């Protein structure tokens, strides 16, 4: 299946690249920059759907009507209750593209910076952030892979100190959005294909890599790595993960952690993040303090 993510096109998605020599020569085999971690965004790294928060930001800048935001809000509610649906991702993407058509890329980038500051930052699951930071602390590249617009994905990755991001790329003509996309939406099989292309390009052996997602739609990504993790999983992914003996982490109704698969000090850091996440869920209004504690 063509994804628009061949070697030349993949260069468009690169955000940051570890500098030569970043690896610690004393790291044992399978550690350091050759081992990478791939994180989904919606309901894995953040609560709910990023496109809903994008819609809120567009509405704040008077690019959406009240009826538009209500439709996105309904999509957010069904996403939180039922999990991700392929047809929902497609329809939401089509609406989002129609809203940005005719806008400049610079304008959208500025809006996405504000969306992260105003909405996304406080929606980050502290435990998932701690898991990502544990990989970074071990010198391992961390990538964000999402169907969300690349502008929002890349800004999120930069703000969290990740290595880079892959996201759905909207076509621009002379710096203005056309209302079309380049390649496919980065979702389902396309996301798995993009991850494998990225791993091949960067020299990551997938057998030693980690991947984290909430949705069975991401099984093509999860099944491609040696260390898959189900985070806030939908029913289908939870059942599949339990059958396969994968780690399952759920922050929505308390904290459940099964064999997180990060050895040594990384496991300690990740576990601390999970504990902080549980505390934050029990104490409304203190999520930012929990996040700051983990980041420190």
Q: What is the tens place of the pLDDT at every residue in 261-292?
A: 443 333 333 333 333 333 332 333 344 444 44
Between 76 and 3, where is the model more confident? 76
The answer on pLDDT for 139 being more than 70 is yes
d(CA 31, CA 241): 24
Q: Is residue 21 part of a domain?
A: no
pLDDT at residue 57 in the model? 77
Q: What does the mean pLDDT of the chain come to?
A: 74
Q: Which of 74-83, 109-118, 129-138, 264-273 has the lowest mean pLDDT?
A: 264-273
* Domain-located, residue 16: no
Residues 6+ apart with CB under 8 A from 79: 42, 43, 48, 49, 52, 85, 88
Top-ranked range on mean pLDDT: pick from 37-41, 88-92, 184-188? 37-41
Looking at 22, 42, 174, 292, which residue is catalytic?
Answer: 42
| Residue with tokens 């998932």, as numbered in its chain | 128
114, pLDDT greater than 70: yes
In angstroms, the CA 158 to CA 207 distance is: 26
* Residues 224, 196 contacting (CB under 8 angstroms): yes
Q: Is 91 a member of any domain?
A: no
**Helix, strand or coil, per DSSP, at residue 63:** coil
21 by DSSP, 3-state: which? coil
In a domain, 72, yes or no: no
Predicted local confidence at residue 28, as pLDDT = 42
Mean pLDDT of 180-192: 87
Is residue 231 within 8 A of residue 257, CB to CB? The reply is no
Residue 80 token pair? 């939180």
Annotated catalytic residue, options 6, 40, 117, 214: 40
Q: Which has the higher per-residue pLDDT, 175 or 73?
A: 175
- Nearest-angstrom CA–CA distance, 5 and 12: 9
The three-class DSSP label of residue 196 is helix
Query: How far out from the chain centre does Cα 85 lie?
Result: 16
Q: Give a yes or no: residue 69 inside a domain.
A: no
* Position 81 in a domain: no
**Is pLDDT above 90 for 199?**
yes
* Extended beta strands in the chain, E state: 37-39, 142-149, 164-173, 176-182, 210-213, 227-231, 248-250, 256-257
User: Are 49 and 146 contacting, i.e. CB atoms less than 8 angstroms apart?
Assistant: no
C-alpha distance from residue 108 to each of 2, 218, 219, 229 (Å): 27, 27, 31, 32
Question: What pLDDT is attached to residue 211?
Answer: 98
Q: Which of 47-51, 90-94, 190-194 has the highest mean pLDDT?
A: 190-194
Q: What does the block give as tokens for 214? A: 């909430």
Confidence (pLDDT) at 68: 55
pLDDT, average across residues 222-245: 97
**40 tagged catalytic:** yes
Average pLDDT for residues 110-129, to the nearest whole number? 93
Residue 222 sits in a domain whose CATH number is 3.40.50.1000
Tens digit of pLDDT for each residue in 56-75?
Answer: 777 777 666 555 555 545 44
The whole-angstrom distance between residue 283's C-alpha and the CA centroid of its chain comes to: 25
pLDDT at residue 176 in the model: 92
Whether 59 is covered by a domain: the verdict is no
Averaging pLDDT over each range in 113-122, 213-222, 280-289, which range is the top one?
213-222
Domain count, the chain: 1
- Whether residue 255 has pLDDT greater than 60: no
Query: Which structure tokens are listed for 293?
Result: 């504690």
Residue 278 covered by a domain: yes
Domain that holds residue 282: 32-47+124-295
- Two tokens at 73? 């809000």
d(CA 241, CA 52): 27
> Residue 240: what pLDDT?
98
Whether 42 is a known active-site residue: answer yes
CB 180 within 8 A of CB 97: yes
Question: What does the pLDDT read at residue 178?
Answer: 87
Per-residue confidence band for 94, with pLDDT thresholds at 50, 70 and 90: low
Supply the pLDDT for residue 100. Answer: 76
- The bridge status of strand 227-231 relative to strand 248-250 is parallel
Residue 164 β-bridge partners: 143
Determine contact, residues 38/157, Cβ cutoff 8 Å: no
* pLDDT given for residue 34 in this prediction: 82
């Amino acid at each position: 299946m063509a994804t628009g993510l061949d070697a030349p096109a993949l260069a468009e998605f690169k955000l940051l690249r570890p500098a030569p020599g970043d690896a610690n020569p004393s790291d044992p085999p399978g550690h350091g920059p050759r081992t990478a971690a791939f994180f989904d965004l919606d309901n894995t790294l953040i609560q709910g759907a990023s496109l809903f928060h994008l819609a809120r930001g567009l509405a704040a800048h008077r690019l959406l009507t009240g009826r538009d935001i209500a439709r996105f809000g309904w999509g957010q509610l069904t996403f939180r209750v039922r999990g991700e649906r392929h047809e929902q991702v497609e329809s939401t993407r089509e609406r989002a593209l129609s809203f940005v058509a005719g806008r400049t890329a610079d304008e959208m980038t500025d809006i996405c910076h504000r969306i992260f500051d105003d909405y996304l930052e406080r929606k980050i699951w502290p435990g998932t952030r701690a898991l990502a930071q544990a990989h970074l602390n071990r010198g391992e590249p961390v990538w964000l892979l999402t169907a969300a617009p690349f502008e929002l994905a890349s800004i999120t990755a930069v703000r969290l100190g990740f290595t880079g991001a892959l996201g759905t790329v909207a076509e621009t003509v002379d710096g203005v959005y056309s209302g079309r996309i380049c390649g496919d939406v980065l979702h389902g099989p396309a996301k798995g294909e993009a991850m494998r292309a990225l791993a091949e390009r960067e020299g990551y052996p997938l057998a030693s890599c980690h991947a984290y997602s909430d949705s069975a739609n991401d099984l093509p990504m999860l099944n491609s790595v040696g260390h898959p993790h189900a985070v806030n999983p939908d029913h289908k992914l939870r059942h599949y993960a339990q059958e396969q003996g994968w780690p399952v982490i759920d922050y929505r109704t308390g904290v459940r952690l099964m064999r997180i698969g990060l050895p040594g000090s990384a496991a300690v850091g990740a576990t601390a993040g999970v504990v902080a996440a549980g505390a934050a869920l029990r104490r409304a209004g203190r999520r930012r303090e929990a996040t700051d504690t983990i980041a420190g």
